[in-house]
Structure 1
Amino acid sequence: MWDTVATVDGKVTMRGWASFAWADDGEFLVQRADADPPADDTPREWIENSPFPTTSVIGYDDGSKIFTMLYSDHRGVLRVYGMDVDGSTWRIWRAAEGFNQRFTASIAPDGKRIDAYWEMSKDGLKWSKDFDLTYTRN
């Protein structure tokens, strides 16, 4: 289990948790995440657009050497992402007209902390940071 904290411009916008568990004898990895109730000073926009709870199922393509992540959330959003892990760098990406996304994370050497950020782009060329996300193993 992991504690998660999302920040925008250094301000905490979400605290929650994430879990990762193998399914089907290690064929797939299932990620589940949820958020604690929002603090009183959480921006209204963040509360209204909160995806939690979320579920993702991750599988590996031995031909392309790329992972695929199927994502779903309580809003009914369904997305397909590409994913890879190279050493201590974890990346997730999605190319979709009008709403491209990418996630870049650095995994601590001891494996107990992951520092990440999500970015978004309308055109796939000009990117802006959406939020920072920290995972801490509890």
Structure 2
Amino acid sequence: MVTTERPEELARLDVFVGEWTVEADIPSVGVMGGARSVFEWTLGGRFLVQRSETPIAEAPDAMMLVAPDPATGGYTQHYFDDRGIARVYAMSFDGTVWRLLRETADFSPLPFRQRFTARVDGDTIAGAWEKSTDGTTWEHDLTLTYRRA
């Protein structure tokens, strides 16, 4: 039986829905704009899909699918990009802080760990990716700023 009642953990993600322009600040390259990301509900509002496109050849276009994770009370984000890479991230969102974490091998090898932390403030999402080869020492990878289009 299909229920129409949406769990609170799904409703919390409504803040992401819509189109965003994305700016990346990559230390070795500088600030790059022109990317966009669209979040939308699919399959009756049970999954959140994010599609990101960038005009920068070195940066991949990607699609992410977010689902609640009953075991943790958080979410799981499934990541796919046009390089053929697929990854799984543990995700949390408390209404203000958005976190993604990948510390175990999944569909692809784990040559490094990744984490993303962002603050969602109305029409702006400001965050940064970090990476670690040993799981202890984290280094800044890049900064992302999303602005509602």
Task: Output the TM-score relative to the length of structure 2.
Answer: 0.78
Moved over 6 A (4+): none
Matching residue of 2:118: 105
Select which of 25, 28, 38 maps to 1:19: 38
Matching residue of 1:55: 63
CA apart distance, 1:14 = 4.6
Aligned 8 A contact 1:98 1:123 in 2:
no
Matching residue of 1:136: 147
Matching residue of 1:90: 98
Matching residue of 2:50: 31
Deviation string, structure 1 residues 56-92 (Cα, Å, up to 9, x no partner):
1100023420200110000000000000101310000
- Aligned-residue CA RMSD (Å): 1.5
> Structure 2 stretches of 5 or more lacking a match?
1-18, 105-109
CA apart distance, 1:11 = 2.3
What SS does structure 1 have at the residue aligned with 2:37? strand
What SS does structure 2 have at the residue aligned with 1:75? coil
Alpha-carbon distance in 1 for matches of 2:95, 2:74: 14
> Structure 1 stretches of 5 or more lacking a match?
39-46
Task: Output the TM-score relative to the length of structure 1.
Answer: 0.84
Q: Does 2:26 match 1:8?
A: yes
Alpha-carbon distance in 2 for matches of 1:95, 1:26: 28
Q: Does 2:139 match 1:121?
A: no
Aligned 8 A contact 1:103 1:116 in 2:
yes
Select which of 65, 84, 107 maps to 1:76: 84
Alpha-carbon distance in 2 for matches of 1:79, 1:127: 19
Q: Percent identity?
A: 38
CA apart distance, 1:98 = 2.8
**Counterpart amino acid of residue 69 in structure 2:** D
